[in-house]
Chains A and B, each alone.
Chain A
Amino acid sequence: MTAFRKHLEFLHRTDDCRTLFRPADCSPQVIAAEGLRAGGPAVEMEPGTDGEGTPTATTVTLASGVYGGIDQSRGQRTTDSRHRQRYPWTRLGIGLGIDQDPAYTDVLESLLALGERRDERDVTYVERAADATAQDLRELGLPTPPDEAWPRFTLGLLSIGTDRGSYWAPIHGTVLDGNTIRARVPTAVAERDLLETGTAVTIALGVPPEALAATHLLAITDRLETPIEDRGVGATVPVIPTAGGVVPSSAEVVIETTVADRQPATQSEKREFWERLDEGTTLTLESDAIFTRENPVVPFTPLGVPLSDDLQLAALSLSATLFDRVNSYWGVSPVDWLLLPAEGRLGLCIVASEILYAGFEWQLANLLFSLSDCFDKVLVVDTEISPRNLGRALGDSWVKAHPSRDWLVSEPEAPSARMPAYGRNGAGDGNRGEDGDSDTGARLYVDATWDPRWTDEFIAPQVSFTESYPPEIRTAVHDSWAAFGFDRRPLIDRERDP
């Protein structure tokens, strides 16, 4: 388990986080959004001395881009400090304790393990680290987005305690005053009589990456009905009971609340990305007690912008789920990797698979369409393409797939996809009507794999360092690389997912 502040420390240690003081004249959300747009490192914003009010021991340090933030569509740039290679899963992989350069599929499998059912509970209880007390939610100094009136928190964990155990779900919301929170939570937990008015629930901010990732994974796969003590995450993250349910002991901020209103009159609320895949609802919560660690640090993300952390958590969670499903379907595991690029906001699915027989690519694409209603486009690539080289996968869709034969559009009689923006009413609402009914639409899959019926003479060798040069030359280039006047390690070493 990685405490959130430890996660941040690891990011600093791998030169992947920058620190600045929070200014009075610029919204942290705007800074975070611009940082994401640059595809830069994570950003930590310490309380400034010239901000609104004087920082106290309970004023939070903010951290953005700690779970995503890498624009993989651009590849690595010369501007990358120390020329480290980072991928959209790198930061979460570090947080999950895999490696500082985690393999993509290792991240997917670690995510899946957090959501696995366990036959026996193995819960560790550890004293709560947040031992300071705040009197007022405003003391936390949560950031207010531009054009909004109230401070907002994101990437939170909701815990609801019951006799059977605790239920965790993602939560985000706004701080209306010193005691009142208007929050968004999955409808699934709100409707299961878990959140009657007067029920005690707890919000934890700055929780371990394992805990936060598990809430997003469980929410988007509609698996919130099982206490977390019976899931992998329950055996991974040490917890402590609170007035609500158990929360991660290392949480930076713990807010014990009571449900005040299950159906408050609200205007349109901004959404975290999990709400595009799982219905959310609004609650009003009254704060009863606020605990923080000393100099608390919490993650946050601007909502709705490209490459945001909530989007990346949803992308990786859904990718992991689909990767598991397709490799559990035919009795064999033909799929090397599966990726929903956050750059495409989950409107596109890329899958690298062995083509078991002619027509398998059709089965694979249509299975994916039936397992998820997010996307209307699937790109199938050969397993020689690494998930680290999204550019090569996207390039293959044009040079390897025949535009007359390998771009295949279905009849427009399929259920319409949720993520695409065309033909919908209003941005951000997905492709479905307000009543939840589906319109129909078409689906496209692109087969950028070699036809298994082709003989070897038809298969064009790839131009690559490995295939274009004999071993002795490759070795000589490596051995003399620095002597040639080059600074960086040859990228060729690092293209393959370990």
Chain B
Amino acid sequence: MTTPATTFREFLTVLEDAGALTEIETPVSWDLEASAITMAANAADERIPVFEFVEGNGRAARLVGDPYRGPRGREFDHLARAFDLPKPARQSGPAYYDQLIDRLEEQREPTVVEPETAPCKEVVRTRAAENTDASAIGSANTNTDTANPDANLLEFPWPYIHQQDGGRYATLTTLVAPDPDGEWGRWSRHRAMIHGESRASVLFLAGEQLPNRYYYEYERRGEAMPVALTLGAGPAVTAASEMWIPVGRSEATFAGGLQESPAELVPCETNDLRVPASAELVIEGRILPEERLDEGPFGDYFGYVNGPRRSMPVLAVDAITHRDRPYLPFCVEGSGVGYASNSTSSMQVAAAGPDATLGLRAAGYDVAMAAPWPYTERTVWVIATDRPYPGALHELANFIFTTWGMLHIDCFVFVDREVNPLDSRAVLEALALHADPATDFHQFGVERMPKVPLNIYQTPDEKGSAAVGTSKSKTAKAYIDALSEGDRPTQTIGDPKERRRARDLLAEAGVAGVAAEVDAMGEPHSALDQEMDATQHPQHHQNR
């Protein structure tokens, strides 16, 4: 009996045990080379590279390229292993969603550990007093490395990811920020472009919870927002940071549910926040008011390099704490489009999707599954559902566009609840055959909704200065009704028993992949569907 991996190092062990890791001892440069190797590995569905020796940095810190990328077609598999989910959850997307949703429903309060026992405090460095705002410094610390007191971002081998990028980036982060509604803080993922020893610009897009808090509360009061940017904080922390957790709840409790044990937190050195104790690296600091630095261009999740440079809020570094020889995970953004996956696309499938499915059900929508379209990292989602009453899809789409879908998602494709949204063939078939251009393509051309300036279809003029992280011009947020009217073409023949026998025979004959085909299209595609009858499903229209 194994237990879920709770730290990033345990997660690497899980990958190693699965034969999904390669440790590269050859010195590799952070200057494009580590990213090039990672992009090639992503494209080839290869092992995840761990760069043990980074040129110019020696063995002081290590890089890990897209550690959360799952195997193609089963992007959830590595997280399923990490969370020690039962085997069906490693083979079938719907089964994984069911299992993960169960975990998310069993949230656990975190615990606070002493700094002396926290791995992330193995090395502690603060900035010299003249570089910090003393009023922002909170709890005292005991582990400060007085021999080398200055925390310095440039000591770490931040990768230069694409040659068109505006700088070096920290990408696979969890940003911890204050929560006025709870004691554990709020977590979300924000990339940071390194500008020097003590400064970085952080991608803050208004519309998301933490940026909203910064732009419309802290900055308006002229206050800096204390934050901690963590890297390598373990799979449950990273997954929870990818989720849209409603106000009043805490990502930390969801992380505890995912790993079936409380997330261990430790107080920061220079502010009142608490951070995951096992994090490989923690950058404590403040998002300054009324200060901006360039951010971008960047090869982004669209698969293109967006520009022009934007002005984004400034992270001023107060302290850096880390493990010995920390692992710095990074994501080669933009390499998770088309067939290839990366950490972002896999996390969207394996974390954001189950969370969204649960969230929509909790809101009263009868959703079988909500998952991202497989060929883009964030732009389109597929939702398997019914149409319980006229106008239901319109209401559902625009409900999401007002919440977690407002910035990055441009379109929802609704398919029959029997269609597995992760089955790209079935989704393509639904779009091709069941979406009527005359009646089923909605809100295309209605240019009324906000859009992140990271997109590539708006001109620089339309993006404008992006003062709070949204384009000057609006866009359309659309949805497509690709539900059938009961006339879905034949998906399978024979009865389930005969099909199972056929799959066994094929597997014996060496047909790879067929044994994993456990969620038959055209049949109820999850245990949940089989076990719950219509009356057990939450019905939105009944709650109105």
Within 8 A of B (CB), among A448-471: 454, 457-458, 460-463, 465, 467-470
Within 8 Å by CB of A391, from B338, B379, B438, lies B338
Contact B478 A422 (CB under 8 A): no
A sample of 5 cross-chain residue pairs with beta-carbon separation below 8 angstroms, ordered by A number, consists of A18-B509, A26-B501, A27-B498, A74-B425, A392-B338
- Contact flags B31-57 to A (C-beta < 8 A → 1, else 0): 011011101110111110100000000
By CB atoms of chain A within 10 A, which of B436, B447, B485, B508 has the most?
Answer: B436
Is there an interface contact between A419 and B432, defined as CB atoms closer than 8 Å? yes
B498 in contact with A30 (CB, 8 Å) = yes
B381 → chain A closest CB, angstroms: 10
A486 with B501: CB separation less than 8 A:
no
The answer for the CA separation of A460 and B41 in the assembled complex, in Å, is 24
Determine the residue in chain A with the shortest Cβ distance to B477. Answer: A403
B222 at interface (Cβ–Cβ under 8 A)? Answer: no
Chain A 137-161, CB within 8 Å of chain B: the 1/0 string? 0000000011100000000000000
Which residues of A have CB within 8 Å of B390? none
* Complex interface residues of chain B between 52 and 73 (CB less than 8 A to chain A): 71-73
Q: What residue in chain B is nearest A486 (Cβ atoms)?
A: B46
B514 nearest in chain A by CB position: A38
**Which residues of the other chain, B, contact A406 by a CB distance below 8 angstroms?**
457
Encoded as 1 (CB less than 8 Å from any B CB) or 0, chain A from 6 to 47 comes to 000000000000111001011101110111011111010000
Q: Given that A35-B506, A38-B514, A348-B428 are known contacts, is A460 also in contact with B306, CB under 8 Å in the complex?
A: yes
A394, CB-defined interface residue at 8 Å:
yes
A123 within 8 A of B: no
Do B433 and A468 have beta carbons less than 8 Å apart?
Answer: no
Report the bound CA distance from A212 to B367 in whole Å.
Answer: 45
20 extra interface residue pairs, beta carbon distance < 8 Å, beyond A27-B493, A395-B338: A19-B509, A23-B501, A30-B494, A30-B501, A34-B503, A34-B506, A40-B506, A305-B491, A341-B428, A343-B428, A399-B376, A399-B455, A427-B488, A443-B437, A468-B161, A469-B32, A470-B32, A476-B33, A488-B44, A491-B340
CB of B398 within 8 Å of the partner chain = no
Let me know if A33 and B492 touch, CB within 8 A.
yes
How many Å from the CB of B3 to the closest CB on chain A? 26
Residue from B23, B333, B487 in contact with A463 in the complex, judged by beta carbons closer than 8 Å: B333
**How far apart are A210's CB and chain B's nearest CB, in angstroms?**
27
How close is A348's CB to chain B, nearest CB, in angstroms?
Answer: 4
Determine whether the beta carbon of A76 is less than 8 Å from that of B45: yes
Q: Are the C-beta atoms of B428 and A344 separated by less than 8 Å?
A: yes
Partner of B376, one of A75, A302, A398: A398
Q: Smallest CB–CB gap between A438 and chain B, Å? A: 14
Residues of B within 8 A of A410 (CB): 437
Tell whether B13 is near chain A: CB-to-CB under 8 Å: no
Instruction: Produce 1/0 per residue, A401-440, CB < 8 A to B.
Output: 1111111011010000001111110111000000000000
Q: Which residues of B contact A341 (CB under 8 A)?
A: 428, 432
CB contact list, B151-175 vs A, under 8 A = 161-164
Residue in chain B with minimal CB distance to A32: B502
* B interface with A by C-beta (< 8 Å): 22-24, 26, 32-33, 35-37, 39-41, 43-47, 49, 71-73, 161-164, 299-300, 302-307, 333-335, 337-340, 373-376, 379-380, 410-411, 424-425, 428-429, 431-441, 443-447, 455-460, 475-478, 484-485, 487-495, 498-499, 501-503, 505-506, 508-514, 516-517, 521
A residues in contact with B494, CB < 8 Å: 26-27, 29-30, 33, 146
Instruction: Verify B72–A78 contact, CB threshold 8 A.
Output: yes
Give the docked Cα–Cα distance between A470 and B493 (Å): 51
A interface SS class: loop
Q: Please state if B459 and A34 are interface contacts (CB–CB under 8 Å).
A: no
Q: Give chain A's interface residues, CB within 8 Å of chain B.
A: 18-20, 23, 25-27, 29-31, 33-35, 37-41, 43, 71, 73-81, 145-147, 302, 304-307, 341, 343-348, 375-377, 389, 391-392, 394-395, 398-407, 409-410, 412, 419-424, 426-428, 441-444, 454, 457-458, 460-463, 465, 467-470, 473-474, 476-477, 480-481, 483-492, 495
- Contact present for B492 and A444 (CB under 8 Å): no
Q: A40 vs B433: C-alpha distance in the bound complex, in angstroms?
A: 24
Which of A39, A419, A424 makes the CB contact (< 8 A) with B513?
A39
Closest to B501 in A: A26
How far is it, in angstroms, between the C-alpha of A74 and the C-alpha of B492 when the chains are bound? Answer: 18
Most buried by B among A79, A392, A467: A79
A196 and B73 CA atoms in complex are apart in Å by 53
Contact A473 B32 (CB under 8 A): yes
Interface centre among A26, A400, A468 (most CB of B within 10 A): A468
Docked-complex contact B26 and A480, CB < 8 angstroms: yes
A residues within 8 A CB of B499?
Answer: 30, 33-34
Q: Check A71 against B425 for contact (C-beta < 8 Å).
A: yes
- B429 proximity list for chain A (CB < 8 A): 306, 343-345, 347
CB-CB nearest in chain B for A454: B459
User: Are A73 and B428 interface neighbours, CB within 8 A?
Assistant: yes
CA distance A463 to B506 in the complex (A): 39
Interface of B, secondary structure class, is loop
Q: Are A404 and B444 in contact (CB under 8 A)?
A: yes
Enumerate the 9 nearest inter-chain pairs by beta-carbon distance, A residue then B residue, closest first: A75-B339, A463-B334, A485-B22, A344-B432, A347-B432, A395-B375, A30-B494, A392-B338, A442-B438
Assembly CA distance A118 to B242 (angstroms): 63
* B87 smallest CB distance to A (angstroms): 16
Q: What distance in Å separates the Cβ of A487 from its nearest Cβ neighbour in chain B?
A: 7
B43 contact set on A, CB distance < 8 A:
465, 490-492, 495
Whether the Cβ atoms of B458 and A420 lie closer than 8 Å is no
A484-B489 CB under 8 A given contacts A399-B455, A441-B437: no
Contact B488 A477, beta carbon cutoff 8 Å: no
Q: Is the CB of A442 within 8 A of B437?
A: yes
Q: Which single member of B22, B436, B503 contacts A484 (CB below 8 Å)?
A: B22
Residues of A within 8 A of B307 (CB): 460
Asked if A73 contacts B511 (CB within 8 A), the reply is no
- Contacting pair A489 B44 (CB below 8 A): yes
The distance in angstroms between the C-alpha atoms of A428 and B258, with both chains bound, is: 44
Alpha-carbon separation in the docked complex, A481 to B36 (Å): 11
How far apart sit A135 and B441, CA to CA, in the bound complex (Å)? 58
Tell me whether A422 and B436 are in contact in the complex, defined as CB-CB below 8 angstroms, given that A34-B506, A463-B333 are known contacts: yes
Q: CA separation between A226 and B492, bound complex, in Å? A: 38
**CB proximity of A454 to chain B, nearest CB, Å:** 7
Residues of B within 8 A of A491 (CB): 40, 43-45, 340
Cβ–Cβ contact B501 & A468, under 8 A: no
Identity of the chain A residue whose Cβ is nearest the Cβ of B42 in the assembled complex: A491
Instruction: Flag if B456 contacts A492 (CB, 8 Å).
Output: no
Instruction: Specify which of A38, A77, A398, A423 is in contact with B436 (CB 8 Å cutoff).
Output: A423
The docked-state distance in angstroms from the alpha carbon of A442 to that of B438 is 5
B459 and A458 form a contact (CB under 8 A): yes
B436 touches A442 (CB 8 A): yes
Q: With a CB–CB cut-off of 8 A, which chain A residues contact B305? A: 460-463
Q: Which of B35, B307, B435, B484 has the most CB of A within 10 A?
A: B435
Give the docked Cα–Cα distance between A34 and B41 (Å): 30
- Give the complex CA separation of A146 and B501 in angstroms: 13
Q: How far is the CA of A303 from the CA of B43 in the complex (A)?
A: 34
Contacting pair A38 B506 (CB below 8 A): yes
Complex Cα distance, B45 from A341, in Å, reads: 23
- Most A CB atoms within 10 A — which of B26, B46, B489? B46
**Inter-chain contact A146/B498, CB cutoff 8 Å:** yes
Cα–Cα distance between A404 and B41 once the two chains are bound (Å): 36
Which residues from chain B contact A375 at a C-beta distance below 8 Å?
Answer: 432
Pair A20/B339 contact, Cβ less than 8 Å: no
Q: List the B side residues contacting A41 at CB < 8 Å.
A: 511
B295 to nearest A CB, angstroms? Answer: 16
Q: For B36, list chain A residues within 8 Å (CB).
A: 465, 468-469, 473-474, 477
> What residues of chain B lie closer than 8 Å to A74, measured between beta carbons?
72-73, 339, 424-425
Find chain A residues with CB under 8 A from B485 CB: 421-423
CA distance A404 to B518 in the complex (A): 39
A457 to B307, CA, bound (A): 9
Collect the chain B residues with CB atoms within 8 Å of residue A30's CB.
493-494, 498-499, 501-502
